Chains A and B, each alone.
Chain A
Amino acid sequence: MSEPEVLFCLHFLGGSARSWEPLARALAGTPLTCVPVDLPGFGDAAGTPGYSVAAMADHVAESIRARAPARFGIAGHSMGAKVALALARRAEDGEAGLTGLTDLILVSGSPPSPEPIPEDRRAEMLAWIDADPETRRREAQAFVRANVGDRLDPETEERAVADVLRAAPAAWKAWLEAGANEDWCRRVGVLRTPALILAGSEDADLGPDAQQALTAPHLAHHRLVTVDGVGHLLPLERPAALADGLRAHFDDRPRRPVEAAPTVAPDYAALIASERVNGRLRQALAERAAPDDPAYRPAALDPVELAILRAALARVMPVPHLDLAARLDRRLASGAGDGWRFSALPPDADAYRAALRTLDAAARAAQGRPFTTLDAPRQDALLTLCQRGDLTVPDALGGRLDADRMRFWFEDLRADAVRLWLGHPAALARIGFSGIGAGGDRPGEIADGLPGFHAVGLDAPEPWEPQTLQTEAGR
């Protein structure tokens, strides 16, 4: 994949096209041209209406079409990242003029889900934007300073403050009251476009944890890079580091891994191919063995919930290269249940959604971090609480299922996981299961002459039966 010709750059709340000038300078002499865009209500577009995410995306789409590049990237910073993700969905859906999208660069991005801004900060920011000029100036400076790791150089800071003051207050308020809260999680879905996610280690709300939990689930092929010492305004704070990050990304894009799937031992594959196995089963095993699509777009869950489910399943059923979460989502979406559910739980898909959100809320309550970012022992500790019926979450954090219900759900999760795993030929091979070889294809309603098993007593395997594992555990 070659580099894009241009990189459309979408600024943060209170920024403008000017916010990207330091990056453009840092990239000077490279083939990549930055094309910063003023979003409606900001910079030179302060008078342009249309502050919703969709309207901002339309505005950017016009700029892209006007320039009509064959290949382009989009860099979005904070607010601009949400717009970039909305555009990427349109591009991947084949919208005319956008299909040349090659890369996404998301800097301290506001995620597709409603942005986790603390209510008091939101209220404060809404209060001063309409105040007297002196208050506005003071607060704008405080806003810029609150969003950086180390203080910006005076000139950069002055321009940043000036941009904030240039913004249409209506646009500022529209983002805080509406745009940031718009839920694009399902609409954005899971994107295939290679993406670089950058986060500042000192970013209060949209740092690496938030990016991991809320942005990464939307990007099948991404790399998440944390820049130490940086706050929320990487393009202003460390344009050289941002430029380095871009170069590294274009040198080595996150790629689709080699078609990965659990391998079936050769002897077992030969059994499957043999006439001892019937055609319907052989085909089903082949389908189950097919690699999962890394960009699987969930239908029952949303992408954020799917990521939590993946993380939980990695603990419950640690088998590599098998996306049990996607397979489970597909089943939930199909509505094909197993004939019953615990009456304490809502319908399966609702139960899964609520339980995964509860698990995540419990992680935030106990560890101050999303579930997907916790290390294995901490994830296990929470799942153990689920199993014991001891997982409780403060209501304020969005506890949706109580401890008893989480215990029921966790039982269902274990059962669903083991069922999916043991349907896979790699699992059957691993446990040395001979049952698939009891009979092949025969014509007619009732099969004549199937081999079955002749000796069925102890210690009398037939020569064709797969080996029992001789591992310690297999003893």
Chain B
Amino acid sequence: MNLAGMRTYRADDVVDAVVVGTGAGGAPLLARLAAAGLRVVALEAGPNFTPERFAFDETLADEIYWTDERLSGGATPEAFGANNSGTGVGGSTLHWGAFVPRADTRDLRLHTETGEGVDWPLTYEDLLPFYERVERFLGVSGAPSYPWDAGRRYPLPPVPRNGPAEIMARACEARGIRWADAPAAVVSQDFQSEDGPRRNACINCGFCHQGCRTGAKASMDVTYLPYAVARGAEIRAEAFVHGLERAADGRVTGVVYRQDGEDRRQRCGAVFLCAGAVETPRLLLNLGLANSSGQIGRNYMGHVATQVWGTFDNEVRMNRGYPSSLITEDFIRAGADFAGGYLIQSLGVVPVTFGNAVARGRGLWGKPLLDYLDRYNRLAGIGINGETLPCDANVLTLADETDAHGMRKAHISFGYGTNEDRLNAHATKVMRGLWEEAGAEDIWVLERVAHTLGTCRMGRDGSSAVVDPHGRSFDIDNLWICDGSTFPSSLAANPALTIMALSLRSAEAFLAGRA
């Protein structure tokens, strides 16, 4: 993004806040704090890209993924990198899918409802105004009336239904399942970002996950970050944070980062860690901070994200159009033998991502692999995003190996429990049924885990949680965490919209605390 003319601060200026990470967690609060007149500096580990780089190619997009190595273990090892972790000014929103369902009311009090999982220390009503603010600001496109929430209105009409969406709609109709055009943080009409660029209506190129060339997708670099810079925030790219300076009372006084090969520091009144549910706990564990609860790294969660694929008689050409343009939330509560639920989305995937899934998940190789890839233009998929309960066995720890900065790498152990297995079995049956209904041949199931959540859970009690319901550390009162790591449970919804809503909520709490 364009950072020319940006206000800058000196290292010995005591800025009001340093924000570590410029993705869905960091950008909204950076914008809000800057708008409130605070002196704020964001430190981003990755480079500052401009959309001119984005070249409609998966391999060239490697540069926007977080490719510092993580060790993945457990019964269901999760893929990182392109699967869920980004780098660059804008963070993972440079490559995110921009699929923005809201959390379901019931998911926030899952324990009360089912005795499983945990309740969030806040309610849907607490989040609702922030959801609406974010949706308006980003220009979310969606169905004019949302079947599962009568009052909900999206600012923009939906993006067009692509091939897989048409197939899924047909199948849902036949099976009596409600469906809707998906809520997408992609503008279906030209849209002027407030104090940001004019964003062109989506051209249906299908490369959301490789960086959006037209500004249609609401990545932070075309939405909250230009707004923040316009209001006096400074963003420093290629600044990798690896230390926190503290006063005798334990409060944070500065942030230490590596930039251009040297260690630098920025003095500050508060720090917001917004580096995601792997890097945030990794930093704190490496520093041995804010962990009197012993909860940092615990309850790591990825979503159950199983997909079902099939071959159709139609020319689907699934690379065209917004990739997940249809949704059903009918299974957020399936009335089955598991707590929580899942949403289903239609899927179009570009070739390398698809080939990777086929080679790993279907296990094809040799001529059968080449033959199957030849069907590319006739394939379509559907997939879920499903609840994962917090669990003791799923944990992020530090590996013995260190990275280029001398920091120990993250080791993530993740596996499904009984609840996830039951949910997965149910969802797989439903999706198979839909694809059979739609006339698919050669149906197969791709087991997949998505997103990075948990590890610094929020709660009401500092003995069992890392941060309070506003994201503030129980141990260090000027240290805040604002990203997927604070999620006490995974929710069925894709997380980014909720992360942004929580980010604005944290900003309001921070501002209120100063008033």
Contact = CB atoms under 8 A, between A and B. Distances in A.
A338 interface: yes
Nearest to B315: A459
B425 interface: no
B357 to A, nearest CB: 9
Contact of B59 (A277, A284, A434, A442): A284
- Kindly state the interface size class of chain B when it binds its partner: 35 or more
A457 B72 contact: no
Given A281-B55, A339-B65, A383-B365, A458 B167 contact: yes
Nearest to B377: A468
B59 A453 contact: no
Contacts of B163: 456-458
B265 interface: no
B73 A344 contact: yes
Given A278-B55, A342-B73, A450-B213, A439 B203 contact: yes
B355 A421 contact: yes
B56 A435 contact: yes
B336 interface: no
Contacts of B319: 433-435
B439 to A, nearest CB: 12
A340 interface: yes
Nearest to B62: A336
A414 B365 contact: yes
Nearest to A383: B365
A101 to B, nearest CB: 39
A471 B70 CA distance: 41
B102 interface: no
A445 B52 contact: yes
B71 A341 contact: yes
B352 A423 contact: yes
Contact of A415 (B198, B321, B356, B413): B356
A432 B376 contact: yes
A390 to B, nearest CB: 14
Interface string B58-85: 1110100111111111000111111001
A118 interface: no
Contacts of A471: 374
Interface stretch (B148-156, B204-212, B497-505): B204-212
A446 B51 contact: yes
Interface string B354-386: 011011100111110111111111100000000
Contacts of A439: 56, 203, 205, 213-214
Interface stretch (A106-114, A127-135, A311-319, A395-403): A311-319
Nearest to B212: A446
Contacts of A93: none
Nearest to B319: A435
Given A284-B55, A419-B356, A445-B2, A458 B315 contact: yes
Contacts of A417: 359, 365
A466 B71 CA distance: 40
A339 B317 contact: no
A448 B201 CA distance: 10
Contact of A457 (B82, B166, B373): B166
Interface in B324-348: none
B370 A465 contact: no
Contacts of A257: none
Given A340-B79, A468-B378, A457 B73 contact: no
B162 interface: yes
B451 interface: no
B213 A447 contact: yes
A448 B216 CA distance: 11
Contacts of B57: 281, 284, 423, 436
Contact of B71 (A343, A446, A451): A343
A94 interface: no
Contact of A318 (B66, B370, B377): B370
A475 B202 CA distance: 31
Given A421-B355, A465-B317, A447 B51 contact: yes
Contacts of A419: 59, 352, 355-356
A415 B374 contact: no
B449 to A, nearest CB: 12
B56 A446 contact: no
Contacts of B197: 445-446
B195 to A, nearest CB: 15
Contacts of B161: 456-457
Contacts of B79: 338, 340
B379 to A, nearest CB: 10
A418 interface: yes
Interface string B110-139: 000000000000000000000000000000
B204 A422 contact: no
Please report whether the interface of chain A is mostly helix, strand, loop or mixed according to DSSP: loop
B320 interface: yes
Contacts of A436: 56-57
Contact of A458 (B71, B166, B366): B166
B351 interface: yes
Contacts of B205: 435, 438-439, 450, 452-453
Nearest to B87: A339
A379 B182 CA distance: 47
A473 B51 CA distance: 37
Interface string A314-334: 011111000000000000000
Contacts of A319: 370
A336 B79 CA distance: 16
Contact of A447 (B202, B214, B316): B214
Interface string A420-440: 011100011011111110110
Given A438-B56, A444-B52, A473-B371, A339 B67 contact: yes
B167 to A, nearest CB: 7
A448 B199 CA distance: 9
B222 interface: yes
Contact of A338 (B81, B215, B377, B401): B81
Contacts of A469: 374
B50 interface: yes
A453 B321 contact: yes
B389 interface: no
B233 interface: no
Contacts of A422: 58, 351-352, 355, 373
Nearest to B352: A422
Interface in B170-195: none
B162 A456 contact: yes
B53 interface: yes
A403 to B, nearest CB: 16
B75 to A, nearest CB: 12
Interface string B385-414: 000000000000001010000000001010
Contacts of A450: 200, 203, 205, 213-214
A416 to B, nearest CB: 9
A446 B212 CA distance: 9
B314 interface: yes
A318 B365 CA distance: 9
A342 B77 contact: yes
A418 B368 CA distance: 12
23 contacts: A277-B56, A280-B60, A338-B62, A339-B70, A340-B71, A341-B71, A414-B359, A415-B360, A418-B352, A419-B355, A421-B355, A423-B352, A431-B373, A433-B319, A435-B56, A436-B57, A438-B204, A439-B203, A445-B1, A446-B200, A453-B205, A473-B370, A473-B372
Given A447-B52, A468-B377, 17 more contacts: A284-B59, A317-B369, A339-B82, A340-B72, A341-B71, A343-B73, A411-B360, A414-B369, A418-B352, A418-B358, A422-B352, A436-B57, A445-B51, A445-B52, A453-B321, A458-B315, A465-B317
Interface of B: 1-2, 50-53, 55-60, 62, 65-73, 77-82, 85, 160-163, 166-167, 197-200, 202-207, 213-215, 222, 311, 314-317, 319-321, 350-352, 355-356, 358-360, 363-367, 369-378, 399, 401, 411, 413
Give the 4 A-B residue pairs with the shortest CB-CB distance, closest first.
A452-B203, A339-B81, A456-B321, A343-B73
